[in-house]
Structure 1
């Protein structure tokens, strides 16, 4: 069988993980503007600050940045001093779900808030839609197609294997006959009908017919040798019989 055409280009497909937050840090957190989040009541459906008449608007309760940015905002409260009912390190999951905007708490990108019990807000988990993962669905997973160029097996230049990096890297055909360099890219590239790099090598033995004939020749040789042994055994038996006859004469 003849070897397939050598491909100067090929593609690999990698999973890319990026943090995707579709909005900026809200002003009430960035500027510490308590009054933006406060409403005066009684107000039905809003989280009450202790026994005061101050209530917190849903968009300010258990929000993404409030929960996700532990260093900056875990101690933040929009309530008046002494009534920190919205402090996320004290706010239990059921309350986070009940009083937050759209009842999703810190979950973003279509994630749904799931409560196991009365865990506090920083310990809650979100049920993420396809192509998203992470504690609050902040990690986007997407397939990136990368076009790679054939290089010499001796000029890989210490590049890491593409199996472990998304930067400039090296990948090979199935049996490492061909080497390909893949340049780093943040966007998926047009495949242009190119084969996958792993499939650019024909793994079928070049001399399959010859190998088959060689095997067949070997089998015939064994048969002939076995036949020879049988013939010699028959001849020896005849010689013994002849000797016995002579001795009796």
Structure 2
């Protein structure tokens, strides 16, 4: 768990720097030409737009509502056809990896990130891929999503989002269908959980349990300070150890 968190943080830090450079370049193009140099659906434009108005409290509703809608879609698909979740997750992984690699490979054409993302998704679903490879790819996913979400809002807004998501998580895990979805993920080898080996048993932690704290850490790195970010990272370690 410690190694995965550290690797995720390193990816997050590097990707966050890349996102900052991308946003700066897009902004320069807009100032010079009056418009972005690429379509609105281009990852670079979305990265730029995500960093605008980080002080907007409305993003609390936007992010929480988006998470709930995403979970609702997963739940409906799970009820209709559980095996279809794997394909949905692979699409989500591909998109996430594209953004992650875009932040790391800012000096390369977008097609490189798109191609590598497809290859990494293949490695994730391949039964012959070593666990270490899959875990590293998932750390890249966590770092990329955390960097993108974290740059959307100031730390105090993310603290509010985490408080809301904590309540949601308690309900979804203990009274909702989260346990069944997690069980199906394990049975179908869907990369939504990270396996943690304890002294007497194996434990699983969902990617969301990494992504949202990492989003706060990314926000602290971008809009706060490195010291606060490291403190939050240590708090994440302690919380995970206590929970396990």
Q: Which has the higher strand share?
A: 1
The verdict on a shared fold, with TM-score over 0.5 as the criterion, is no
TM-score normalized with structure 2 length = 0.25
TM-score normalized with structure 1 length = 0.24
RCO greater where, 1 or 2, for CA within 8 Å and sep 6 or more?
2
Q: Which has the higher helix share?
A: 2
